[in-house]
Amino acid sequence: MKIKSSFLTFSLILLLFLIIPYILKFSSKKKLNKNALYDVFKNILYNRTKIFCIILTSERYHQTRVVNIRNTYLKRCNNYIFASKKENKKQGIIKACDNDTYQATFCKFRNALKYAWKIYGDKYDWYYKLDDDSYPIMENVRAFLMNKNSNDYKYYGFKLRIPEEKKYIHFMSGGPGFILSKSSTKLLVDTLFDNSKFCSQYGMLPEDVEIGRCLMNYGINFSSNNDFYNRILFSVFDPMRMLSPTTRSKVLLGYWVMSNSTFYPNINIMGKFPLSFHYVRNETFYLLEHLIYKASVIGRRSSIDRMVDSNKRNTLGKIKNLYNLIKNFSSKIFI
């Protein structure tokens, strides 16, 4: 009897393994990979929170970093330009300055922002400045912004400061990127950039420091943007260095000084919904793209998924519910 029972169990297991390939064969790959609810929500958020990306680059990176960006996150920006010293229309690169060095980034960004505002103006809600080694998670960026008013003077990022003439210049680090509302963008382009009372008329300056100076001189206050639990959203490092407790470098010491806070890289330092990373290497663009958008953990659902009633609502109801849940969630987690 025991032998028969064991044989029956073995037979059922064997039969199951024989049947599974046929079940998978008749389940289309499209259906297996489809995430209809996410796709619809992503499109709604994409159209409701419009972001223009301005990426500063250099001629020597036109065939490497620019290509990496075009292959990964760029499609999630509503529109974009790359700013360099050499134009390449095919790649969306404009000539924004005669110089490609780090010292010329203010020249590049100022001219690129003027260019974009002149053509598009308030068609976009937010203008997001990025480096060519930044990697933003655009869905999280939109969730961060969805409860914020782009008609107000807003300026978001990882806050730093440097001493200057017995005071501090506060600014958002350009590495992980900083975000300007359309009102702040209009103010910079129409009023501040060409007025020496507010902005330097010398272009050979770091763009992040100078944007902070311009807005400070006008009287706009801003604070660092962490989540509700005071975890970092805009990472000044790549994921490996930001999350590893063994990270020790002169760059880290520099950020300690400029941020006026001592943060120690560790596995829990980043928010659950990070917005961007800096110093991202060529290969890491594709690693992040895969881990964020392709890979999954069997049986694990996100915090948002667990809030959605998957049984009682129709598809349209789920989408509406999902949007409202994320909007409410965003207002609490992103302060």
Report the predicted TM-score, pTM, of the whole model to 2 decimal places: 0.84
Token pair of 117, please?
A: 């505002």
Q: Which of 112-116, 207-211, 228-232, 246-250 has the lowest mean pLDDT?
A: 246-250
Task: Reply yes or no on whether the pLDDT at 164 is more than 80.
Answer: yes
Task: Reply yes or no on whether the pLDDT at 181 is more than 70.
Answer: yes
CA of 7: how far to CAs of 109, 164, 311, in Å?
73, 82, 39
CA separation for the pair 322, 310 (Å, rounded): 10
Furthest C-alpha separation in the chain: 95
Note whether 80 and 121 are within 8 A (CB). no
Query: Domains of the chain by range and CATH?
Result: 49-229+275-293 (3.90.550.50)
Mean pLDDT of 66-92: 98
Token pair of 35, please?
A: 């995430």
CA separation for the pair 83, 96 (Å, rounded): 5
Question: pLDDT confidence of 23, banded at 50, 70, 90?
Answer: very low
Task: Reply yes or no on whether the pLDDT at 42 is more than 50.
Answer: yes
Mean pLDDT of 170-186: 97
Helix/strand/coil (H, E, C) string of 126-176?
EEEEEECCCEECHHHHHHHHCCCCCCCCCEECCEEEEEECCEEEEEECCCC
313-322: Cβ within 8 A, 24+ apart: 315/36, 315/37, 318/37, 319/37, 319/40, 319/41, 319/44, 322/37, 322/41
- CA 45 remoteness from chain centre: 14
Q: Which of 17-26, 50-59, 289-298 has the lowest mean pLDDT?
A: 17-26
Give the side-chain half-sphere CA count within 13 A for 315: 7
Q: What residues are paired with 94 via a beta bridge?
A: 83
Give the percent of the chain with pLDDT over 90: 64
CA separation for the pair 104, 98 (Å, rounded): 9
pLDDT digits (tens, 9 = 90+) for 306-326: 666 555 556 677 778 878 888
Residue 301 has a pLDDT of 73
- CA 231 remoteness from chain centre: 15
pLDDT digits (tens, 9 = 90+) for 232-277: 999 999 999 999 988 877 778 888 889 877 788 899 999 999 999 9
Place of tokens 């880290």: 252
Residue bearing the bigger pLDDT, 222 or 111:
111
Task: Reply yes or no on whether the pLDDT at 18 is more than 50.
Answer: no
Task: Reply yes or no on whether the pLDDT at 22 is more than 60.
Answer: no
Q: Which residues contact 181 (CB under 8 A, 6 or more apart)?
A: 125, 126, 127, 148, 149, 150, 151, 152, 153, 154, 155
Q: What is the mean pLDDT of the chain?
A: 87
CA of 315: how far to CAs of 5, 100, 310, 311, in Å?
45, 50, 9, 10
CA separation for the pair 38, 30 (Å, rounded): 15
